Amino acid sequence: MKRYRVKPGGKVNLKEWDPNDKSEFKENKEEGKQLLLQRNQKIDELQELLYAEHKHKVLLVLQAMDTGGKDGAIRDVFEGVNPQGVHIVSFKKPALEELDRDYLWRVHSRVPGKGDIVVFNRSHYEDVLVVRVRNLVSKEAWSRRYEQINNFERMLAEEGTTILKFYLHIDKEEQAQRLQARLDDPQKRWKFNPGDLEERKLWDDYMTAYEDALGKTSTDWAPWHIVPANRKWYRNLVIATTIIEALENLKMKFPEAPAEWSKMRIEP
């Protein structure tokens, strides 16, 4: 999955990244779904190992434009995985208590502990994305946040956290189709938010903000991955495979039990 990883220190032009790309998996949609089931089982096994070893921490960050597929990716990638071992954190509009403190305050308290996988559905990156596009703080304020975020994530990594960040890349045409599909389906209409149309008008501004965020905060210790997300099955396989590779690289082992335990017999 290295081809989707953003190199540290480089500039990002999202027009050069194809949201329809499916070059890393030769399967079709149905075969891809079956392959994902195998990936689900592997993640479940690795999550149990992560919890048992109780040494490493794993933080996954998902960002996307509206309808980009964050909820669907979380549901599909972690299907069948022990729900006690994966914690989902969704960051909404900051509460007054949070606005009274620095922008990372509410984030830091939700990072994973040893043995945990935590998924951020939106994240601290909103503070260099929507905050920037909507002019909620000054340019001086959001400009210095890239370095602050890098330092924050470096500290987490040095304290034993594996960080993987995924930008789910769809194009504007795909977003239009997904928004229309919500309107056309009575069972999905509740998910439609008229405010999404206002955000859609700012598409180009968001692309510029994402390009800066991806380029300035993809680091060796917390890399960004630009995931082709027009095809949901392919999106899921890229994310799942990247997670598996990262967990396997931790070289985890189950804790050794005392030797005498192997001779114990439990009376019926």
pLDDT at 24: 95
Asked whether residue 235 carries a pLDDT value surpassing 90, the answer given is: yes
All structural domains of the chain:
2-249 (3.40.50.300)
Average pLDDT, the chain: 95
Q: In what order do the strands lie in the sheet with 224-228?
A: 86-90, 117-121, 57-64, 161-169, 224-228
What is the mean pLDDT of the segment spanning 217-235? 98
Confidence of residue 258 (pLDDT cuts 50, 70, 90): confident
pLDDT at 10: 87
pLDDT tens digits, residue range 168-177? 999 999 999 9
More confidently predicted of 63 and 191: 63
Alpha carbon separation from 87 to 26, 78, 158 (Å, rounded): 32, 11, 21
pLDDT at 121: 97
Asked whether residue 43 carries a pLDDT value surpassing 90, the answer given is: yes
For the entire predicted model, the pTM comes to 0.95
